[in-house]
Structure 1
């Protein structure tokens, strides 16, 4: 006999009615009215209409279920990091929302949900931000409050280790996106980059050697937007080229003559890019944007300021000395508050050829020719009989268009029989370079202007100081060569805030950059300094000067170095980038290194000359960062105080005389170059701003690739004096210098780049949540048959075969959406 099992453990359906299931009730309930809670209580309330709290009602929308709410704050309260607001509502709720009731205004993400987040603003520690959580039901609204107390900004990442790997390394919690690479097309009809040396049309492609860079937020209508965090214009310099990778088998030089196609490609790879970029899920650039533009050594330029029309600028191309062609060797930059970009001509001298016999021809024309010879020598352009003199040999090209002078202009030799005023040849072409150039990125048809009032030198960069209504703004510059000087230009016009939004941006540049006073710095051993005016007929800058008789202010500006020599300015260890602390107004300048600094020539602002193995030469091998504070904290000051923020050094070097800043494995560096402060529009640029330091190193590359460091520096005078002894060859010299407090954990390594690169160019979106950085010349020591880096092709994985490296712009973001670095 067979028996049926009657114990079923409830797994058989015995209810024949059509009454709804629990899941059915939940689904209907959620479709009629949103109930916002957590866990099992939310399910119960959705089904039973708040009965668990108050008993049940008739479950229609006119009901009046009591609602209970709570609000709490979590996450980080440190400036620049992400804070979380969590609300809970028990009962029948139609909607919830978060509103801010006190403190600096923040942007709430998820303001209509139970969980909202925001980036903690830069504010004085202890500042309270208050928030109201509101739940709305049929019976009205119920609220709860919570608050976040702001903590001081501090670096919020673990230092990246030194590395020799062929990849960009960043801290845990950060992501890297490669945005804009050598050869990327920026115009319609230009094909994808093949990267085998056959590509052309670089007038519509990304150039090489990405360098100084600025981001400009842009509105939906294409106008500047100070809060544009997802759409903008990125403007960046292309300083130079890695010539070997640009051609199939490297450059061709047949009997000292370059092919026109190769020379044209190389010229077009120099200059500046303007590109439109956008952020959706990730950052990308818009290939065919009407704002995209390449500015190259071929682009028409105009001259502005005192030197416009000067005899020394007259050429066969520009007999009236008001126009020119192109900009070259553009290194650092400047971001103007009226939404223009300053690009700066650095090592321009080497591109020109000067044949033997030129000096005699110039001298034969009279005093002006003699002075030109003095000027050319001071700027490093001497005669040469070598057929390879003049970078890349562009002067040697015989163009298909025999009327073209785009190649012959690179030979500045005075031609026999040509007019002495330079209008028949290109003897004066070299004087058209060495300037600060202003570009309007929002007008692709505008002509860049060379701002001659700021002097002629190896302009590394030009950084504006703080702008204060009614005060004349200052612009700080370094002359990047060994033993050159630090400068500032003070505009003749006091700042007006309304100019920041002017539609005619280059006209505002005319207002502030064409008239003013140029100064050079003289440092004293006691920690003070002077700004010496480079003004004609003041001091030795007169026609009676024996070394160089100045004839006018135009002469002073064209020959800025000679004028600074005459004033006795302080010779520095390669002044490069300048940066201004937006909170204090203090100016920082990288002194990258100086191979010619000797034991005999050390002084208080340049106190080290030493050997750093494996090198056997003496000099300031690792560089340092000097800073100054204007007297009275005004840009118009003629005096300042100074000290040295940090000395580059390996952590294993002598702490008494070399590693003076006490650097360790988390923050040791060499050859500081790029320098930039966070923007005051976010927490990285307020109260205690973050300063970013980029390196261009040749002394420490046996240990690590070049790097980017973040710091929260103190203020001038926060350390003390220090005696430093330099010794070599049995000779020693001790000087007393001024050194800031040891950086310690307030300086740490944020990024290490790929092989043989330089880290340079840096800017962020206004909210500080996207950081743009340039990686320059990876694999620069290789060539087509010896590829020494495959970056950026290998950034996201191993490449199957070596790929020619490409200078590129990257974007770094924080995975939690916070301000980068904090």
Structure 2
């Protein structure tokens, strides 16, 4: 018998009396929980477009090698590029975490990816493209379930209803958009300047917004401080031109004279109302505003010191009583269009500067006697003939300070007994104007530089080509006058991407803009063209030329109009703004109109001359409504010396003859006249990406104003050569003739009217934030035909309703946003 006290055991005795959970219990609980999760954790995915929820289907299926969890996939959906797409996943309460990831398709940035509701902006695509997204739910013990959904993205469309033509006294935009008036004539730009009274008594326009807002660029800022942030879209510097003035509204009762002389106070107000503004703007919780007290705000006026750079710096034709060595100057004037340089600077263009100069009779004889007969040829070619009084009579002012020359400098008359080299008077002051001026908006102490390598003309603007590493960039320009030319400048220096973020931005401008080749365009009837070099001692550009004997390359650049005449460039119908398609590098140029074009003087690139009867009884003649031409460089490179061209669109009323006038088949949703501003959406957002970026077209018209105020249209253009040829018959009082031209594909629904401005205005100047969600537009000279006794527009006071009493109109910058916060236009 065995004693029970000594019985052997193998451990099969429970001696643990604690309450700790047994392993068998854990196994049972785990199994029970898996059974609960089986079919209980789901990942339904949906897509939301414009607030419409697309419900998911319930197609179950095992997607995991482990069989403890099953999931459901949502239904497929579609959207257009630029739209906000919302992905909605569902999961049971047992999911401890969830996440969205992209499985395939063009990469997008998912917002709130670690929540059930994620979103993204549909990317730019050239054709319908599927994007697959996966929703994953994870339990506390590491089990996962996934479900996929597919969103097919199609190319962007112009997603708004075209604005109807109208003659209202407000800015009209499509439903779903908001207009905010941002920066008006006279608005103060520092804390010490009082609010604008708008009754003619205001002074100190060196610290106020100037008049006639025009070309404009946005430069991003970091969240705080003055640091540049190229992607900054909530805070930035807005830089804009003030081209001209509506003088009648600047003074209490318009301009005055005393014994033929202008009062000093009135004249200085008019001078300072020209130039450029640099202002800080910010996006608040509900709207954009400008920061009146920003340390970055400044005005650049016709009196601001300037430096000359490039081949003409120090040339004898730049010497004046102010700058005896020809290296310095004062101010910039009649600044029309602009350019945004890739290294973060602003380029402003001096357009109709010649009209500001006085030139008395007898001046030509004085210059000839001094051995400067060439100067007479130059002044005449640029429109400064003898007998001109000069715009606004500034030279009639007798300043209180007799040493003050800010008024006298506008008198280009050579003083007979003065130094013949021009250092004792201002005979050479006209040669100091007509340039592209580069400004660093981030540095309030920087001195603007006049870039003489780009030539001297009625510069409308300057548009860089696409910047491609290792390729010399080009800069496209129009000379805005009847029968003038299209130019491009090609830098001597190939682009280096590192220069885009350099700290000394004007030094980078020196690198790319001070040395290179200037060309002028010749358009051939077969749709080809050449860039003709304007180089001293090449072809007719020599010291022996009988029309104009050039002294050197600087002389060619000062007189590039004469040089272009001599090499045989094609006279165009007022070349204005230029724009480059960021997708393919094609250059567009607006040809506003040309009243001097006759049937006998038409050609393939300027093919129309016609009579334009209007509803108010007026009749126009020539190329009344203008057109938009575009060029494709051979090899798609900015260094090319040849190109092909066609005409993207012809301006015309929709009711005009489609065989000879309305050649683009425009209708009531997109007919326009006198194209002026043109700009492509930025490649930093979807509207400027892909194969079909959005192009914006603005008008400066007097021919179609019997039907509608000036306007802005949005377009998704095609490519050079997408249309065909057409022969048209032209008829005016000067005779009849035919011309064969190259017409782009009719734009149809890819061109729509987006905005109509207030009475008697011009729509000009456009830029956006890098994210494309705020579009800045300038409204120039509303009510320009009125005066204080007959106010013909009350805008911008009328933007929120008709004011109780008429308010003097003010040029102003507006900002347009979507009420849903999306991209503008698409």
Contact 1:65 1:138 in 2 (8 A): no
Q: Which residue does 1:688 correspond to in 2? A: 692
Contact 1:64 1:138 in 2 (8 A): no
Q: Which residue does 2:386 correspond to in 1? A: 383
Q: Which residue does 1:668 correspond to in 2? A: 671
Q: Which residue does 1:33 correspond to in 2? A: none
CA deviations 1:77-101 (Å, max 9, x no partner) are: 2011121211223325555544444
Contact 2:595 2:621 in 1 (8 A): yes
SS state of the match for residue 472, structure 1?
A: coil
Q: Which residue does 1:561 correspond to in 2? A: 561
Distance 2:679 2:239 in 1: 16
CA deviations 1:243-302 (Å, max 9, x no partner) are: 111111111122221111111111111111111111122211111111111111010000
Query: Larger deviation: 172-181 or 451-460?
Result: 172-181
Contact 1:772 1:809 in 2 (8 A): yes
Q: Which residue does 1:116 correspond to in 2? A: 118
Contact 1:604 1:737 in 2 (8 A): yes
Post-superposition offset of 1:617: 4.1
- How many residue pairs end up in the alignment? 760
Q: Which residue does 1:697 correspond to in 2? A: 701
Q: Which residue does 1:183 correspond to in 2? A: 186
Post-superposition offset of 1:357: 1.2
Distance 1:383 1:631 in 2: 44
Distance 1:96 1:181 in 2: 50
Distance 1:496 1:375 in 2: 38
SS state of the match for residue 795, structure 1?
A: helix
Does 2:699 correspond to 1:725?
no
Contact 2:598 2:734 in 1 (8 A): no
Distance 2:560 2:191 in 1: 43
Post-superposition offset of 1:730: 7.4
Mapping 1:407-486, distance limit 5 Å: 407-486=407-486
Q: Which residue does 1:49 correspond to in 2? A: none
CA deviations 1:200-250 (Å, max 9, x no partner) are: 111111111010011111213432222211111111101001111111111
Distance 2:481 2:232 in 1: 37
Structure 1 residues 397 and 229, CA gap change in structure 2 (3 angstroms): same
SS state of the match for residue 261, structure 1?
A: helix
Contact 1:66 1:139 in 2 (8 A): no
Q: Which residue does 1:508 correspond to in 2? A: 508
Q: Which residue does 2:46 correspond to in 1? A: 72
Does 2:218 correspond to 1:219?
no
Q: Which residue does 2:822 correspond to in 1? A: 818
Structure 1 residues 70 and 435, CA gap change in structure 2 (3 angstroms): same
Post-superposition offset of 1:116: 3.1
SS state of the match for residue 68, structure 1?
A: coil
2:293 to 288, 302, 319: 288
SS state of the match for residue 799, structure 2?
A: coil
Contact 1:98 1:116 in 2 (8 A): yes
Does 2:574 correspond to 1:574?
yes
Q: Which runs of 5+ in 2 are unaligned?
A: 1-31, 50-77
Contact 2:436 2:454 in 1 (8 A): yes
2:89 to 87, 90, 94: 87
Contact 1:65 1:91 in 2 (8 A): no
Distance 2:306 2:532 in 1: 31
Distance 2:380 2:566 in 1: 16
Contact 1:54 1:66 in 2 (8 A): no
CA deviations 1:746-774 (Å, max 9, x no partner) are: 11101000000000001111111111111
Contact 2:768 2:775 in 1 (8 A): yes
Contact 2:578 2:588 in 1 (8 A): yes
Contact 2:620 2:703 in 1 (8 A): no
Contact 2:622 2:732 in 1 (8 A): no
Contact 1:463 1:578 in 2 (8 A): yes
Post-superposition offset of 1:529: 0.6
SS state of the match for residue 520, structure 2?
A: strand
2:352 to 343, 347, 350: 347
Distance 1:172 1:724 in 2: 39
Does 2:773 correspond to 1:769?
yes
Does 2:245 correspond to 1:241?
yes
Distance 1:729 1:417 in 2: 50
Q: Which residue does 1:32 correspond to in 2? A: none
Distance 1:522 1:612 in 2: 28
Distance 1:778 1:96 in 2: 55
Query: Larger deviation: 274-283 or 159-168?
Result: 274-283
Q: Which runs of 5+ in 1 are unaligned?
A: 1-52, 58-62
Query: Larger deviation: 416-425 or 95-104?
Result: 95-104
Post-superposition offset of 1:134: 4.3
2:784 to 780, 785, 790: 780
